[in-house]
Amino acid sequence: MINYTEKIPNNVDLGRDRVLQRALEHWQPAYMGWWYDMGPNESHNYEVYLRTATSVEPDGWAQFGYVKMPDYRWGIFLQPRDEKREVNFGIHKGQAAWQEVPGEYRSTLRRVIVTQGDTEPASVEQQRMLGSSCPSMYDLRNIFQVNVEEGRHLWAMVYLLHRYFGRDGREEAESLLARRSGDADNPRILGAFNEATPDWLAFYMFTFFTDRDGKFQLCALAESGFDPLARTCRFMLTEEAHHMFVGETGISRIIQRTCEVMKENKVEDPSDVRALGVIDLPTIQRYLNFHYSVTLDLYGSDVSSNAANYYTSGLKGRFRETKLNDDHVLADAQYPVSEVVGGKIISKNVPALTALNERLRDDYIDEIADGVGRWQRVIDNAGVPFRLTLPHKGFHREIGNLAGHFISPEGEVLSEETWKNHEFEWLPSSKDYAYVQSLMSGRVVEPGKFANWIAPPARGINNQPLNFEYVRFN
Ligand SMILES: [Fe+2]
Ligand SMILES: [Fe+2]
């Protein structure tokens, strides 16, 4: 028997909720089995300097200390309830926010929660081998932090399934532990979560691009009329910020190091740069193109009746819904989407309700563009003449209006043959992957030491010095 409040920090009154306790009695051991099998490889005895959320109060959500990851206290937290909260959009706008699942939306809502929940363990699976090639103890600690928090995000979604969806919810919670990233027979639900994350450049790109998709999906669900989902997502967002920080600063530090080495040695040619053991900027651009394009697909079809239904029924809102200045019903509004007509990409207006995926994708692109701008400043400040660019949103897409076309990063519609001739100028080749991985053949774990291909961060975690022992290997 588990002592729930001890083992599972929560603010959902778990100690008195017998139904939830019984559901977790079955699920928690299965979760631990999954963590042992699919969590970070060979890490179970390490003591890691991690933050743990023990309450939603400002002083409780980031308690730092050494923890063996299997002993991490995966908790269940919802942002405190606002008694006056309403459904803020769609046909139920103005009703009190729902505290129980509306019967008519039960299966749709369950699907939305399962789809979000599935991404959380997927990314842990994708990253499980990276500890053996970490560039520093600081970075090793960060990937473990991301991993345990993705585990907690799975708990957050499983809580909703167990608490609000009865037997089907329990079955879905089990399936979340059964699917595997990249598995031929039982893959994760969404494409980008079945791609490999083979090296640390890919990991930082993933946390910058794909965790940020997570942020935007959570922001849309945080507007939900189903209040427990909204409150769960709001708390998850506090953790997501760190994941994107890891990605943004990781890439920034790689760029910084490359630029330093280029300047010191007065080289610009990628092969000369590689000879010095750092990652050339064109390779970084190709990784960026890959991660950006597969992440754009996660938003779904540009025109989608499902997206319209989610919105109209009050289940999933827009980014910053309540800050937007319109009727929040969108019955007459229009929104532009792209399509290919006569060999050109054109923009055309469609009913805004059907274009909500595209709109969320556009909101995401705005934020991504700012981040890429910050990376560019690192290059500019070093005085290196190189421009990092975001490819056109039609580049390398497999979902939506632009899928099936051969679009260059500049947005030209090409023939398949022409596109294929340039493919590995635009996307990482097996040689690029092999080179990047050759830099990461072993791990760097001496406190305060960093691999040659990455600059140290500006500061340590939780005000600790850079040479702090972030991981004890035992
Ligand atoms: Fe997450
Ligand atoms: Fe995340």
Per-residue model confidence as pLDDT tens digits over 315-371: 999 999 999 999 999 999 999 999 999 999 999 999 999 999 999 999 999 999 999
Cα(210)–Cα(123) distance, rounded to whole angstroms?
9
Please work out, in degrees rounded to the nearest 5, the angle formed at the alpha carbon of residue 407 by the alpha carbons of 406 and 412. 125
Any bridge partners for residue 67, and if so which? 48
**Poorest-confidence range of 13-27, 221-235, 360-374?**
13-27
Could you tell me the distance, in angstroms and rounded to a whole number, from the CA of residue 75 to the centre of ligand 2? 16
Could you tell me the distance, in angstroms and rounded to a whole number, from the CA of residue 239 to the centre of ligand 2? 7
Could you tell me the distance, in angstroms and rounded to a whole number, from the CA of residue 122 to the centre of ligand 1? 10
Q: What is the mean pLDDT of residues 264-279?
A: 98
Could you tell me the distance, in angstroms and rounded to a whole number, from the CA of residue 159 to the centre of ligand 2? 18
Classify burial at 269, counting beta carbons within 10 Å of its beta carbon; exposed 0-12, middle 13-18, buried 19 or more. Answer: exposed
CA atoms in the 13 A half-sphere facing the CB of 220: 24
pLDDT band at 474 (very low <50, low <70, confident <90, very high): confident
Whole-angstrom CA distances from 285 to 205, 279, 281, 372 are: 11, 11, 6, 11
Q: Report pLDDT digits (tens) over 157-206.
A: 999 999 999 999 999 999 999 999 999 999 999 999 999 999 999 999 99
Could you tell me the distance, in angstroms and rounded to a whole number, from the CA of residue 118 to the centre of ligand 1? 10
Could you tell me the distance, in angstroms and rounded to a whole number, from the CA of residue 207 to the centre of ligand 2? 7
Could you tell me the distance, in angstroms and rounded to a whole number, from the CA of residue 354 to the centre of ligand 2? 27
Could you tell me the distance, in angstroms and rounded to a whole number, from the CA of residue 211 to the centre of ligand 2? 5
Could you tell me the distance, in angstroms and rounded to a whole number, from the CA of residue 204 to the centre of ligand 1? 15
Closest CA to 397 of 288, 287, 284, 296: 296
Could you tell me the distance, in angstroms and rounded to a whole number, from the CA of residue 47 to the centre of ligand 2? 22
Query: Which ligand is located closest to the Cα atom of residue 118?
Result: 1
Rounded to 5 degrees, φ, ψ at 328 are 60, 20
Cα(254)–Cα(400) distance, rounded to whole angstroms?
33
Query: How far does CA 289 lie from the centroid of its chain?
Result: 16
Could you tell me the distance, in angstroms and rounded to a whole number, from the CA of residue 149 to the centre of ligand 1? 7
Question: Any idea of the CA torsion for 230, 236, 238, 244, to the nearest 10 degrees?
Answer: -120
Cα(221)–Cα(114) distance, rounded to whole angstroms?
13
Whole-angstrom CA distances from 349 to 308, 346, 355, 441 are: 15, 10, 9, 50
- Backbone Cα Rg of the chain: 23
Q: What is the mean pLDDT of residues 412-423?
A: 98
Whether residue 58 has pLDDT greater than 90: no
Give the dihedral sign, CA 42/44/45/50: positive
CA atoms in the 13 A half-sphere facing the CB of 449: 8
Could you tell me the distance, in angstroms and rounded to a whole number, from the CA of residue 214 to the centre of ligand 1? 6
**Max intra-chain CA distance, the chain:** 68
pTM over 0.85: yes
Question: Any idea of the CA torsion for 245, 250, 253, 257, to the nearest 10 degrees?
Answer: 180
Whether residue 381 has pLDDT greater than 60: yes
The SS3 of residue 116 is: helix
pLDDT over 70, % of the chain:
99
The SS3 of residue 282 is: helix
Query: How far does CA 310 lie from the centroid of its chain?
Result: 21
pLDDT band at 212 (very low <50, low <70, confident <90, very high): very high
Closest CA to 251 of 168, 158, 399, 374: 374
- Runs of H (alpha helix) within 46-136: 106-126
Could you tell me the distance, in angstroms and rounded to a whole number, from the CA of residue 420 to the centre of ligand 1? 35
Could you tell me the distance, in angstroms and rounded to a whole number, from the CA of residue 244 to the centre of ligand 2? 7
pLDDT band at 62 (very low <50, low <70, confident <90, very high): confident
The H or E element that residue 229 is part of is: helix 227-265
Cα(394)–Cα(404) distance, rounded to whole angstroms?
10
Query: Which ligand is located closest to the Cα atom of residue 206?
Result: 2
What contacts 116, CB < 8 A, 6 or more positions away? 157, 217, 218, 221
Whether residue 1 has pLDDT greater than 60: no
Sheet containing strand 63-68, strands side by side: 63-68, 47-52, 471-472
Q: What is the mean pLDDT of the chain?
A: 96
pLDDT band at 55 (very low <50, low <70, confident <90, very high): confident
Query: Which ligand is located closest to the Cα atom of residue 117?
Result: 1
Could you tell me the distance, in angstroms and rounded to a whole number, from the CA of residue 197 to the centre of ligand 2? 14
Could you tell me the distance, in angstroms and rounded to a whole number, from the CA of residue 151 to the centre of ligand 2? 10
Q: What is the mean pLDDT of residues 407-434?
A: 98
The pocket of ion ligand 2, defined by CB under 5 A, consists of 211, 214, 240, 243
Query: Which ligand is located closest to the Cα atom of residue 122?
Result: 1
Query: Which ligand is located closest to the Cα atom of residue 218?
Result: 1
